[in-house]
Chains A and B, each alone.
Chain A
Amino acid sequence: MPHVLHAEHINKYYHDPVTFQVLNDISLTINKGEFVSIVGKSGCGKSTLLYILSTMDTDYKGKLEINGELITGQQQNYLAHFRNQHIGFIFQFHFLLQEFTVLQNVMIPALKLGVHTPREIEQRAMEKLTLMGIADQANKPAKNLSGGQQQRAAIARALINNPTIIIGDEPTGNLDSENSIIVFDILHELTHTHGQSIIIVTHDSEFANRTDRIIEMHDGHIVSSHSTE
């Protein structure tokens, strides 16, 4: 299977208040269409790793490749465009732009990419919202939606540019079990039918157990990486 993400010997230190190594020689590879979860105790460095893999954090040692392209050492502004095109984000606290409507929130990354006309983008955004089952909420301001609905809108936004990799930081951490099952099903379908790769950091072991592979971290090391049955 071709890999979409490859990280080699990632090391990261925090210097405040004292120098402390968060990540210790992390190497990992994510394949196309793979649904991977990273688990571990709080403070084990899994979120830190996730933000490095997402290209947002550039302060590390090591080498990161996404889609065969070397990411390490690239300028922030280049990385912003790279994220726009190749990476979809789902955050724990949904993080929609509160003043915009749901539809606008979903459309913004595509408008920024500027490949399609606004009309096409709107149509595609509606498709994604329909996929998430919240098409009826499209024209409401984001702040009027429930947590579960906001999280689904955030997923729709992450999908709008058909990214190679979707990255989620506890995407279900704020949802009840019913909503987390819905979110899981949507993500699962994306990997298997659309061939997109997903990396999720989670505390939810039930959720992790249903993904393709679990990477377990402890004190900045990967202690195990095993496929689920």
Chain B
Amino acid sequence: MKSLGVIAQIVKTHLLSRKRQTVVASLGVTFGIGLYIAMAGFMNGSNKLTEDLMLSGTPHIHIYNDVRVDTQQVAQRVFTGKEQLVVVHNPKPQDKPKNIKDGMQILSFIKNDKRVYGASPRVTSQVLYNYGVSELPGTILGVDLLEENKLFALRDKITEGTLEKVLATDNGIMMGGGLADKMNVHVNDHVTVTLTSGTKITLTVCAIFRLGFAFVDNVQSYATVNTVQKLLHKDKLYITDINIKLNNLNDAKEYSKELQAQFGYTADDWETTNASVLVGIVLRNIITYTVSVAMLIVAGFGIYNIMTMMMYEKMKDIAILKAIGFDAYDIRRIFLGEALALGVIGGCVGLLMGLLLSLLLYSIPYKNEYLPGMEHLPMDFSMWYYIVGIVFALASSATAGWFPARKAAHVDPVIIIRG
């Protein structure tokens, strides 16, 4: 490899003596990489926002008492002879209690597990919110508000009132923003709800929250477990659901199976609950990568064009170099070296451009009443995009340079020199 020094010198001279071409060719890569980084960052930022939003509203594991029809009917168990055909038409579930038996013990058991970040009990009551003459159907969730705040950052979602006020007020509730808008109520207003049992009860709005999901904000209110237990005329141990957040998101699948096996109640992990959202994220990722690869390929073609042009312009130089002792490999190295240099220069500037574009997007204010806490466009500044960017810059320039370089290596010097 004694000749690498002189090859590097030739590469440098060629690039420097054609500054404009060099700049134009590397600008192609710069734009490709820069736009890729900004776009991928923005796209993934939005994905993360969606994911965070989703995870902020859903527990990692949700335990509840699913009402199911027994798969084996009593009649089937009794008449087991081979000669008999037993059919039970249209079986109905038994009237079983909907709560989780010994829920509070299960809860404290779960809370002691190392993997668990927090677990919150829940009692749900279906209600009709009375609003003038019309009634709006909805639910009131009885939760351990402080634990729930730990799990879902409830406090951040409150747009009016405080969590403490709900805790301190008898029959206090925290109402969804959409619902409050519809009913035109504010903190300290009273609302009357009709329970499924028919009784009416007056509650005090102590806070208003917005999760960002219309299907929650338009129907749901929070109250303490005790309040809802009272509404349902149930005892202090009555809970219907347990929501769990884990320290590590990825333990959910396994742990949910464990819980299901241990307690016999249905335990859904977050992926099962949010399958459709996750599909959306995967699809957006596919779009991002398709567009990015397309942009980077276009940048590669830019290099290919310039390198091919350079090859034809330098035909005479190639012939001389071959005549004075450079072999085909040396010539190929020169052209590949030039293509790679363009890739490196363009790629590095592209990284910088990507960072600047990302910062620019990140600084654009963007507020939405459904997304409290969001101040500007989302952006993911992961190192990963920068690594992919520079690797692709090198790969595309090497590929783009390969064909002209091979062609240059095969130039017959005699034909060129003799004219």
* Surface stretch bound by A, among B66-74, B112-120, B203-211, B322-330: B322-330
Specify which chain B residues have a CB less than 8 angstroms from the CB of A213 in the assembled complex: none
Q: Which of A47, A111, A157 contacts B5 (CB 8 A)?
A: A111
B316 at the interface (CB under 8 A from A): yes
Total contacts A-B at CB 8 Å: 77
Annotate A124-147 by CB proximity to B: 1 below 8 A, 0 otherwise: 000000000000000000000000
- How far apart sit A100 and B329, CA to CA, in the bound complex (Å)? 21
* Surface stretch bound by B, among A79-87, A189-197, A215-223: A79-87
Whether B5 pairs with A80 at a CB distance below 8 angstroms is no
Whether A51 pairs with B414 at a CB distance below 8 angstroms is yes
A97 at the interface (CB under 8 A from B): yes
- For the complex formed, measure the closest distance between the CB of B197 and the CB atoms of chain A, giving whole angstroms: 93
Whether B2 pairs with A95 at a CB distance below 8 angstroms is no
- For the complex formed, measure the closest distance between the CB of B41 and the CB atoms of chain A, giving whole angstroms: 40
Interface positions of A from 70 to 111, Cβ below 8 Å from B: 76-77, 80-81, 83-85, 89, 91, 95-100, 104, 108-109, 111
Specify which chain B residues have a CB less than 8 angstroms from the CB of A114 in the assembled complex: 2-3, 6
- For the complex formed, measure the closest distance between the CB of A127 and the CB atoms of chain B, giving whole angstroms: 18
- For the complex formed, measure the closest distance between the CB of B10 and the CB atoms of chain A, giving whole angstroms: 8
Whether B328 pairs with A83 at a CB distance below 8 angstroms is no
Whether B325 pairs with A99 at a CB distance below 8 angstroms is no
Specify which chain A residues have a CB less than 8 angstroms from the CB of B9 in the assembled complex: 104, 111
Specify which chain A residues have a CB less than 8 angstroms from the CB of B17 in the assembled complex: 99
Q: Which of A77, A96, A99 contacts B328 (CB 8 A)?
A: A77
Whether A85 pairs with B417 at a CB distance below 8 angstroms is no
Whether B6 pairs with A56 at a CB distance below 8 angstroms is no
Whether A97 pairs with B317 at a CB distance below 8 angstroms is yes
Closest to A154 in B: B320
A113 at the interface (CB under 8 A from B): yes
Whether A95 pairs with B327 at a CB distance below 8 angstroms is no
Q: What's the interface size class on A, roughly?
A: 20 to 34
- How far apart sit A62 and B290, CA to CA, in the bound complex (Å)? 58
Specify which chain A residues have a CB less than 8 angstroms from the CB of B329 in the assembled complex: 77
Annotate A29-60 by CB proximity to B: 1 below 8 A, 0 otherwise: 00000000000000000010001001011000
A68 at the interface (CB under 8 A from B): no
Known contacts A99-B13, A100-B13; decide if A83 and B324 are in contact (CB<8 Å): yes
Specify which chain B residues have a CB less than 8 angstroms from the CB of A98 in the assembled complex: 317
Whether A108 pairs with B6 at a CB distance below 8 angstroms is yes
Closest to A57 in B: B414
Prevailing SS type, chain B contact patch: helix
B77 at the interface (CB under 8 A from A): no
Whether A95 pairs with B14 at a CB distance below 8 angstroms is no
B161 at the interface (CB under 8 A from A): no
Specify which chain B residues have a CB less than 8 angstroms from the CB of A56 in the assembled complex: 322-323, 413-414, 417
Known contacts A99-B17, A108-B6, A111-B3; decide if A80 and B327 are in contact (CB<8 Å): yes
- How far apart sit A104 and B324, CA to CA, in the bound complex (Å)? 13
Closest to B317 in A: A97
- How far apart sit A80 and B326, CA to CA, in the bound complex (Å)? 6
Whether B13 pairs with A95 at a CB distance below 8 angstroms is no
Specify which chain A residues have a CB less than 8 angstroms from the CB of B328 in the assembled complex: 76-77, 80
Closest to B325 in A: A84
Specify which chain A residues have a CB less than 8 angstroms from the CB of B322 in the assembled complex: 56, 80
Known contacts A83-B323, A112-B324, A112-B325; decide if A91 and B330 are in contact (CB<8 Å): no
Specify which chain B residues have a CB less than 8 angstroms from the CB of A109 in the assembled complex: 324-325
Whether B2 pairs with A157 at a CB distance below 8 angstroms is no
Specify which chain B residues have a CB less than 8 angstroms from the CB of A77 in the assembled complex: 327-329
Specify which chain A residues have a CB less than 8 angstroms from the CB of B6 in the assembled complex: 108, 111-112, 114
Most buried by B among A54, A56, A157: A56
- How far apart sit A161 and B329, CA to CA, in the bound complex (Å)? 21
B89 at the interface (CB under 8 A from A): no
- For the complex formed, measure the closest distance between the CB of A197 and the CB atoms of chain B, giving whole angstroms: 18
19 additional contacts (CB under 8 A) given A56-B414, A77-B328, A114-B6: A51-B417, A54-B323, A77-B329, A80-B326, A80-B327, A83-B325, A85-B325, A95-B316, A99-B17, A108-B10, A108-B321, A112-B6, A112-B324, A112-B326, A113-B2, A114-B3, A118-B5, A157-B324, A169-B417
Q: What are 22 A-B contacts with C-beta separation under 8 Å?
A: A51-B417, A51-B418, A76-B328, A77-B329, A80-B328, A81-B325, A81-B327, A83-B323, A83-B325, A89-B323, A89-B324, A104-B9, A104-B13, A108-B10, A108-B321, A108-B324, A109-B324, A112-B325, A112-B326, A113-B2, A114-B2, A169-B417
Q: Which 9 A-B pairs rank lowest in CB-CB distance, beginning with the nearest?
A: A84-B325, A114-B2, A80-B327, A111-B6, A77-B327, A99-B17, A109-B324, A57-B414, A83-B325
